[in-house]
Structure 1
Amino acid sequence: MPEHVSVYQLLGMTLLVLVAVAWALGLAYMLRRGRHEAALWRVAHGLPALPHQRQAAPGHESVELTAAEEHAFAGLVRQLGSGR
Structure 2
Amino acid sequence: YQKAGVTQSPFVYVFKMMGIPFAGDIMNFVVLSAIISAANSGLYASTRMLWSLSNEGMLPKFFTKTNRRSIPTVALAFSMLGGILALLS
Give TM class, smaller chain: 0.3 to 0.5
Scaled by the length of structure 1, what TM-score is found?
Answer: 0.41
Structure with greater helix percent: 2
**Structure possessing the higher relative contact order (Cα contacts under 8 Å, 6 or more residues apart):** 2
Scaled by the length of structure 2, what TM-score is found?
Answer: 0.39
Larger radius of gyration: 1
